[in-house]
Amino acid sequence: MEKITFTVNGNGTLEKVEFYVLEQTKIGGTDYILVTDMEDGDGDALILKDLSKPEEKDGLYEIVSEEKELSAVAAVFETLMDDVTFVSDDE
């Protein structure tokens, strides 16, 4: 499983965070990746949206949080991966 490192700007300090990439897809010209904090088992997962421009060397990702977009992209990832079911923190 591919592991990627993100540099997160939190409260004015840069912090390195590592995630494992479970799957990626492109919807309507936008790239999305499904990442988790654990290589094995039931870890927390996030769907990240690539906001970078094609000519940029580094990717710029944001967490998908808008409910309609999140539901649509989660449904695509569930279809791509037979063994994945999304459960929100609210449930």
> 10-31: per-residue pLDDT in tens?
777 888 889 999 999 999 999 9
Residue 59 is assigned to a structural domain of this protein: yes
Place of tokens 């940029």: 56
Neighbours of 59 (CB within 10 A): 13
- Residue 70 backbone dihedrals phi, psi, to 5 degrees: -60, -45
Q: For residue 87, what pLDDT is reported?
A: 60
* Residue 25 resides in a domain: yes
- Domains held by the chain: number: 1
Instruction: Please write the tens of the pLDDT for every residue from 43-88.
Output: 788 999 999 988 888 888 999 999 999 999 999 998 888 766 666 6
Q: Is residue 61 part of a domain?
A: yes
Expressed as residue numbers, the domain containing 46 is 3-80
